Structure 1
Amino acid sequence: MAIVNTKAIVLSAIKYGDTSLIVKCYTEEEGVKTYLIRGVLKPKKKGIKVAYFQPLTQLKMVANHNSKNTLNAIKEVQVHHPYKTIHSDIVKQSMVLFLSEVLSSSIQEEEQNKTLYAYLETAFIWLDTHDKIVNFHLLFLLNLTGFLGFYPDLSEKDKIGFNLLEGNFSDSTQDKNVIYRNDFYQFKKLLGINFNRLETVTYSKDERQLVLQVIIKYYALHLDSFRNPKSLQILETVFS
């Protein structure tokens, strides 16, 4: 058992028994870790607060990490970047719920990846501090594929379609994994941009939904662990 000082981002929290939570976090020091937080739901619980474990909350903590694959324990915890708008804005809230679910099924590694951690941290601070965020989740997920190992190969951009399975541009539109025409055109708008250029991308409600479906299919083809997010419906309702 090792005592670890680490920053962490909450991916999920599930009620365990009457008063406890099982919390899954992405930690800066050791990747994905799961913690049992006993008694946190008791009405007069001192110290660790249940509010710390809302999706995508950024924490700083001292934790006991087991080597035996059992649940870990948090000794001390505080909120590292208190969000100003994420938990009060309905659109951002729905987005966060959706993204935490996608991250939970996409990232499995129990190992350090500081560049991925830095990406998550900066992306969520960006979401918290900006207003024009309707396409945030699309660019967030697309750019995340770079850290997960399947960002689109941009080398043959003049071809007329994109092969979701191979992750490259393609002219063979008969292949069931190739998107072309409008699907391809809308998807292509996001390639190679960062959050500060997000305002230059415009989508109608239907186009946004279409691109999200394409990205979800892309994830499903590349990640064995990927599950279709249950919160997708909530997101679609908020945007409709």
Structure 2
Amino acid sequence: MIENTKAIVINTIKYGDTSLISTCYTKNCGIKTYMLKGILKSKKSKIKSAYFQPLMQLNLTANHNNKGALNSIRDIEIDHFYNSIYTNIKKQTIALFLAEILYYAIKEEEQNQSLYEYLETSFLWLDTHDNVSNFHLLFLLNLTKFLGFYPEMNLPNSNYFDLIEGNFTNINNFNSVSGENLVQFKKLLGINFDVLHKIDFSAENRQTILFILIQYFELHLSGFKKPKSLNVLKSVFS
């Protein structure tokens, strides 16, 4: 089936000497993987390898096959040109990290326009703002809304947050967040990107909250893996 859709690049690997395989999150069809034959060899092709950088936002005309099969792209154009994501080291590192997160977290080949719009607007915010040191933390927390395990807010003044149950409680379990870590974690709850600069995370706080969020994803998503770029992210923001 020929489909016109917006798409966000989340993973690209080399296939052979001349081709790429790229996985994108599409607005109309969820996760789709494309075979880009000869893209590294042909200089005249309208489809360029530069289009498939992490989090690039595209408009595609694609031939979508049955579930699980590789698809092909007939036509392509950039939907939004980023001004700084690929030139600013912090933003570039965040983009690589979040692309890996999305690759491991989203598997569905179904339309979810609210999730797509969240990704689209979030990455445009990242591109157009300077104070982004906490961006990935709030992005991950808010992503859980669309994945089905955002923290329940029934008892927010409790002494513990249970990572398995996803709720606040006064019962201390093995996977509970408590004490100062809980105080820092709560700073992200219920806020939007425009007030991120007001959160006074230290580098140590930031790494601790990131560890909690990664653990939260691991507990709730089957097959989720820690991104390889995690150590690079920690290094850049330490």
Into which bin does the TM-score normalised by the smaller protein fall? over 0.9
Structure 1 residues 6-60: Cα deviation after superposition (integer angstroms, max 9, x where no partner): 0000000000000100000000000000000011111624211111000000000
Q: Contact 1:170–1:178 (CA<8 Å) still a contact in 2?
A: no
Match of 1:122 in 2: 121
Match of 1:50 in 2: 49
The one-letter amino acid paired with 2:216 is Y
Match of 1:62 in 2: 61
- Secondary structure of the residue aligned to 1:80 is strand
Match of 1:167 in 2: 166
Given the two structures, how large is their TM-score scaled by the length of structure 1? 0.97
- Displacement of 1:172: 1.4
Give the distance between the partners of 1:27 and 1:68, measured in 2 at CA: 14
Match of 1:89 in 2: 88
Instruction: Map 1:156-235 to 2 at 5 A.
Output: 156-173=155-172, 175-235=173-233
Match of 1:39 in 2: 38
Q: Contact 2:7–2:59 (CA<8 Å) still a contact in 1?
A: yes
Given the two structures, how large is their TM-score scaled by the length of structure 2? 0.98
Q: Contact 1:29–1:114 (CA<8 Å) still a contact in 2?
A: yes
Q: Quick one: structure 1 residues 216 and 43, their matched pair in 2 at CA, closer, same or farther if it must change by over 3 Å?
A: same
Give the distance between the partners of 1:45 and 1:229, measured in 2 at CA: 35
The gaps in structure 1 that reach 5 residues or longer are none
Give the distance between the partners of 1:211 and 1:38, measured in 2 at CA: 41
- The range that moved more, 42-51 or 58-67, is 42-51
Runs (4+) off by over 6 Å: none
Q: Contact 1:160–1:171 (CA<8 Å) still a contact in 2?
A: yes
Give the distance between the partners of 2:7 and 2:85, measured in 1 at CA: 17
Give the distance between the partners of 1:176 and 1:82, measured in 2 at CA: 45
The one-letter amino acid paired with 1:224 is S
- Secondary structure of the residue aligned to 2:209 is helix
Match of 1:17 in 2: 16
Q: Contact 2:67–2:109 (CA<8 Å) still a contact in 1?
A: no
Alignment of 1:238 with 2:236, yes or no, is yes
Match of 1:8 in 2: 7
Percent identical residues: 54
Q: Contact 1:220–1:227 (CA<8 Å) still a contact in 2?
A: yes
* Equivalent pairs, count: 238
- Displacement of 1:68: 5.2
Q: Contact 1:41–1:50 (CA<8 Å) still a contact in 2?
A: yes
